Structure 1
């Protein structure tokens, strides 16, 4: 048992060609070369053979770099588990395309678009399990709890996706990056900050630091909707969280960046105040 109560199992996928979900449902079909960041995401955000990625351990801090698509694949899942997790890739791809369209061609976006938030939430966990399986994070360890959630188990209390509020302007842009928050004593990963094509989401495993009274500083957990307000238009992504907070996160357009005429800034605010 590791400090903090999480049971860890060393993952030997890269060394031995094993599926990192072995023992969590049936393995079948042999090992596939899995893009641990979903291929549909990579291809959409790529320039053909490379995609902008940031936050990997060997990259300079706060730097986005073009990385070849072929280098982001590894033999870490069997074909059966790989196929069973594909719906997560589909929902993440749907959210990415909607964000891109809201940015670049808002007139073609419906007033309300439905994306299955619980599946996207598990997709974020899938990405990080893949990164850990390849040894990029957590020294190759994947907690048992992460694997159980990935194959359909319930999220423990306070775990899951949090959408931040009031952290200043954000830029809608291409690319994907990560930032980990580690417990200062146990060195366990307690949260991963995802920057998903401009959308910031915290994936928390409990509350970093254990301060549950201050959990709102990590954002709204599992909000019902995300609104993008560009007056007089408002585009809404309904995340379909039946058991979530029921709250909404709203981004208000404030201007454009120098990156190009189609990149918009939105400011998140709590409209319930």
Structure 2
């Protein structure tokens, strides 16, 4: 079998089979239709989101003032015109602050162990990874049932701030671990090898080289996980947050309410005054969520490194 040679005596490259122009033309209408369908779905979802936000702002515009965070909730329609959601805002800060204090150190430490120290050939490490992946998809109401039966009743912490924080920590802990592992995995192995070559130990390499390089991704994932915890209402309904609270929590064992639960209580009332206050609280909650997500995007763009 003879092969042809190109000019200069070098053997010519073997001919590669390429799809004909007709077959490529056949694929284009389908690709275009699929792309248009995706864009249409995105447009519909965005339109519904804009409509809901616009309706909430229009409905609660008259209540978007200092009364919203300076005044306590009211139980009657005659007093709701001067009422606010101060106890819900304070309770949200308590719960989310404790959630961050519990889940972030545990989640980041677990990610460091699984990514830098764990032996994937060990059965218990594989079982641990499998459980983390499965827990990330468990509905939030299941964590509420777990918190009600185990933490509130068996352990005896009751319907308090610390119970809500523990349950929300369990809810977002898999997300924090997965996001932190991905951030650590994105750090090139060459950095680790260079550190080992200079005589550093594994812990020194992890603490001084890997962690600083992975902080942007870990911070972004942690903020997004806390944003999810901020908007959760289902597990807190089972943990006693639906009670009418007119005081701010002052300890870990205080009763509490949060913004999603306060909105849930207000929206049930038929009076227009309650509906306006609920709409204003929705706008406030959306604003906090947008600020947290914007902070996550800012951290990612500001400190992101391309290796």
Per the TM superposition, whether the score is higher than 0.5 is no
TM-score calculated relative to the size of structure 1: 0.25
TM-score calculated relative to the size of structure 2: 0.23
Give the structure with the larger strand fraction.
Answer: 1
Give the structure with the larger helix fraction.
Answer: 2
Greater Cα radius of gyration, structure 1 or 2: 2
